[in-house]
Amino acid sequence: AAIEELKQLDRKHYLHPTSSLKQHQKDGPAQIFVEGKGIYLTNINGETFIDGVSTLWNVNVGHGREELAEAAKQQMMKLAYTHSFHTYSHEPVIRLSQKLASMAPGDLNVSFYTSGGSESNDTAFKLVRNYWKLKGQPNRTKIISLERAYHGVTVGATSATGLPTFQAFANALAPDFYQAKPFRTNAELGDKSDPDYEGSIRGTIEKLGSENVAAVIVEPVQGTGGVHIPPAGYLQAVRALCDEFGIFMITDEVICGFGRTGTMFGADNWDFVPDLMCIAKGITSGYIQLGAVMMKESFRDELVEMTSDIFFHGFTYSGHPTACAVALRNIEIIEQEGLVANSLEMGKELEKGLAYLEQTFPFIGKARSIGLMGGFELFKDAASGDKFEPSMRIAHRFAQACLDRKLILRPIVYEGSYVVAIAPPLIITKQENDKMFDIIADAAAAMQKELGL
């Protein structure tokens, strides 16, 4: 009865983020979770699930870490909150900023704080536009992102997001955002014979006029768009392209950061340093809201030099002391427990598991992963690339078949591709990984039978 009451109240009073409103009004919440421990989540009915996507790709150190609760408690008892406007400061934000500087690629030594990924990306857009304005180039406002990119849901971040569903929801987008075709390495290197040259970042810069372009933003690995890993040399080519035209390169490391791809940051897999780097999610493993924009020290120095007025950008919760204290402890756990190395090592197990699925089931193909960020696609026939009809809702059905077997995965549908994403907490063991793949194989076998494949 208590469960029924909660469901009714949820239906009546709670508008869920990124969800089916109709389904919710009909059925109420799909799950009510009450507890988390390690890679497991338990719902109100006492059923336990493997959290195969680290919830929203963010619970990197796993659920139920008392150290993080303790860090929050200690900071809350001492000084839960103070702002850092007007250069007021406090130790957690100072220590975290130093720590991040020591970890981040190259000379990304300065941090500005937000409460999440969308705010970080919006901040980066405003920072580069402000820079160009101060530099005497006020028309340099255009931001180029990629198709399939996900950068969040604030107005700016949605406008940069290259997923038509999110853009359509907004109805009116912010001006000066453009999407280029993803991963056209040769085109970015200047190869005009590439059939997609015009739609590439380079082609888009040429079309817009480089003097009007403020920045290019890319995810090192595209996540929400379907787990797409760039080909070798792509990110370096984008870096070189930005240098060639004097345009800023922003990377969105909201998912990739803090060990997800087997290195501390996604950029560490490739040899480049962005001008600005947006982070969130794994910075606190989701225990509390925090995001940041890290920038080159030289970028900050130039802003200082050019800014005579106040720096008019700040959130009430920029550099929240409790969030910073939790982030510091979370990073300490990642380092002490060698979770980046574990992500790399278990990433190899994940890769083996994905290869097994691909070899065993004719409707599974295009498996890919980097560290503990992976996915596979569903086809009527993977060998020929023959696809399912959208009405089959195949990715959702596959994820549901896993959920029925107590494994949470994430279905992603984009332009006729049906992807199942898998990204377990970085603490996962080989045994747990094997268990996860046993469940997927069992679900796949059942689906194969059901579909008569």
CA 9, CA 270: separation in Å to the nearest integer?
48
Supply the minimum distance, in Å, between the C-beta of residue 248 and ligand PLP: 17
Choose between 159 and 224: whose C-beta lies nearer to ligand PLP: 224
CA 124, CA 143: separation in Å to the nearest integer?
10
Q: Is 224 in the site for ligand PLP (CB under 6 A)?
A: yes
Q: Is 151 in the site for ligand PLP (CB under 6 A)?
A: yes
Site string for ligand PLP, 376-415 (x = CB under 6 A): ----------------------------------------
List the 417-422 sheet strands across, edge first. 364-370, 373-378, 417-422, 410-414
Token pair 């939790």 is found at 326
Q: Is 148 in the site for ligand PLP (CB under 6 A)?
A: no
Supply the minimum distance, in Å, between the C-beta of residue 420 and ligand PLP: 17
If residue 33 lies in a helix (H) or strand (E), which one and from where to where? strand 33-37
Give 332: exposed, middle or buried? Use CB within 10 Å, 0-12, 13-18, 19+. Answer: middle
Supply the minimum distance, in Å, between the C-beta of residue 223 and ligand PLP: 5
165, 150 in Cβ contact below 8 A?
A: no
Return the range that interacts with ligand PLP (CB under 6 A); candidates 229-237, 251-259, 397-405, 440-448. 251-259
| From 41, 227, 280, 421, residue interacting with ligand PLP (rule: CB under 6 A) | 280
Contacts of 189 (CB under 8 A, 6+ apart): 237, 240, 241
| From 150, 166, 418, 437, residue interacting with ligand PLP (rule: CB under 6 A) | 150
Choose between 254 and 294: whose C-beta lies nearer to ligand PLP: 254
If residue 118 lies in a helix (H) or strand (E), which one and from where to where? helix 117-134
425, 39 in Cβ contact below 8 A?
A: yes
Please count the other Cβ atoms lying within 10 Å of the Cβ belonging to residue 429: 13
Choose between 188 and 219: whose C-beta lies nearer to ligand PLP: 219
Q: Is 52 in the site for ligand PLP (CB under 6 A)?
A: no
Return the range that interacts with ligand PLP (CB under 6 A); candidates 150-158, 197-205, 293-301, 345-353. 150-158
Q: Which pairing describes strands 407-408 and 291-296: parallel, antiparallel, or unpaired?
A: unpaired
| From 205, 254, 333, 420, residue interacting with ligand PLP (rule: CB under 6 A) | 254
φ and ψ at residue 317, rounded to 5 degrees? -100, 20
Return the range that interacts with ligand PLP (CB under 6 A); candidates 97-105, 181-189, 218-226, 242-250. 218-226
Supply the minimum distance, in Å, between the C-beta of residue 79 and ligand PLP: 25
Choose between 255 and 395: whose C-beta lies nearer to ligand PLP: 255
Per DSSP, the three-state class of 101 is helix
Supply the minimum distance, in Å, between the C-beta of residue 256 and ligand PLP: 8
Supply the minimum distance, in Å, between the C-beta of residue 307 and ligand PLP: 27
Q: Is 152 in the site for ligand PLP (CB under 6 A)?
A: yes
Q: Which residue's Cβ has the minimum distance to ligand PLP?
A: 117
Supply the minimum distance, in Å, between the C-beta of residue 93 and ligand PLP: 19
Region for 288 from its dihedrals, namely left if φ exceeds 0, alpha if ψ lies in -120 to 50, beta otherwise:
beta
Per DSSP, the three-state class of 355 is helix
How many angstroms from the chain centroid is the CA of residue 398? 22
CA 244, CA 376: separation in Å to the nearest integer?
36
Residue type at position 289: Q
Supply the minimum distance, in Å, between the C-beta of residue 81 and ligand PLP: 20
Q: Is 62 in the site for ligand PLP (CB under 6 A)?
A: no
Supply the minimum distance, in Å, between the C-beta of residue 388 and ligand PLP: 25
Site string for ligand PLP, 113-132 (x = CB under 6 A): ---xxx--x-----------
| From 223, 226, 266, 353, residue interacting with ligand PLP (rule: CB under 6 A) | 223
Supply the minimum distance, in Å, between the C-beta of residue 444 and ligand PLP: 26
Per DSSP, the three-state class of 164 is helix
Supply the minimum distance, in Å, between the C-beta of residue 151 and ligand PLP: 5
Closest CA to 241 of 262, 218, 216, 261: 216
Q: Is 184 in the site for ligand PLP (CB under 6 A)?
A: no
Supply the minimum distance, in Å, between the C-beta of residue 396 and ligand PLP: 19
Choose between 117 and 321: whose C-beta lies nearer to ligand PLP: 117
Contacts of 54 (CB under 8 A, 6+ apart): 60, 286, 423, 424, 425, 426
φ and ψ at residue 47, rounded to 5 degrees? -85, 135
Choose between 56 and 189: whose C-beta lies nearer to ligand PLP: 56
Q: What is the largest CA-CA distance in the chain?
A: 70
CA 20, CA 22: separation in Å to the nearest integer?
6
Q: Is 90 in the site for ligand PLP (CB under 6 A)?
A: no
Binding region for ligand PLP (CB under 6 A): 56, 116-118, 121, 150-152, 219, 223-224, 252, 254-255, 280
